[in-house]
Amino acid sequence: MPSLPRTHEPPPTLRHLSTPRSAALAGIAFAVLFGTTLTLIRIEMPVGLEDSTRWLKSEHSSITMATMLMPFAGISFLWFIGVVRDGFGRYEDRFFSSVFLGSGLLFLAMMFVSTALTAGLVASNTDVTDPAAHAEVVEFGKNVLVSVSQTYALRMAAVFMISLATIWLKTRLMPRWLAVLSYLLALALLIVSEMSKWVELVFPAWVLVVSGLILARSGLIEQLRTHRD
């Protein structure tokens, strides 16, 4: 029986993977989700020892909602990092890109730790046998939460902003005013991050501005391509 001739299938066509325009919305999603998370956790957080357990009871639903939103804020932030890095293109510098990526991941990891600690405090606020000892544990956890988020995470966010501003200033990929604004806000985070709990909202507000500008630019580029075609 004669053998059938072999058919040579053409190799699959490789396509360049491009960043979707909708990915620029990730930064806006992060700014909204992260800002909401910070507000729900910190807006009613007491300073003294006596009101700590009462705060966990009265704000139980708000804090629980914040801990549920934080993972989605983190996912959005990872997408935001990818969108910003994609914008570097062939102008990407290894040194500043490493600092930019490392500081962003450290910031996100520490905010996850801070939010997980908050969830642990809420979970431990049931079936308390020794209220006095429990109040001290809650106060300790609350101080660690504030230290991780304000002292360490925010300073990593400042490094993230400084590295990006330096890249933008050297490559002119973004407006000069945005780079200067990023330097000023990052300096504020480095110096006054522990003076007010509302300073944490500076970073999501900055991400919101950057994402809006990236989205507007991508829309303008899309219109120019349409007119050319």
Domain ranges of the chain: 23-223
12: three-class secondary structure by DSSP: coil
Please list the alpha-helical segments (H only) found in 124-229: 131-146, 154-171, 176-192, 202-228
- Contact partners, residue 172, CB within 8 Å, separation at least 6: none
DSSP codes joined into one string, 37-89: HHHHHHTT--SSSTTHHHHHHHTHHHHHHHHHHHHHHHHHHHHHHHHHHHHHG
pLDDT at 103: 93
What residue type is 143 in one-letter code? N
How much is the pLDDT for 223? 45
Model confidence over 10-27: pLDDT tens digits? 555 544 444 555 666 888
- pLDDT value at residue 128: 65
Distances from the Cα of 44 to the Cα of 30, 47, 52, 156, 217, angstroms: 22, 9, 10, 25, 39
The pTM (predicted TM-score) of the whole model is 0.80
| The predicted structure's pLDDT at residue 199 | 84
Torsion of CA 132, 135, 139, 144, to 10 degrees: 110
Selected residue with higher pLDDT from 169 and 42: 169
Averaged pLDDT, 184-195: 86
**For residues 71 and 115, what is the distance between their CA atoms, to the nearest angstrom?**
9
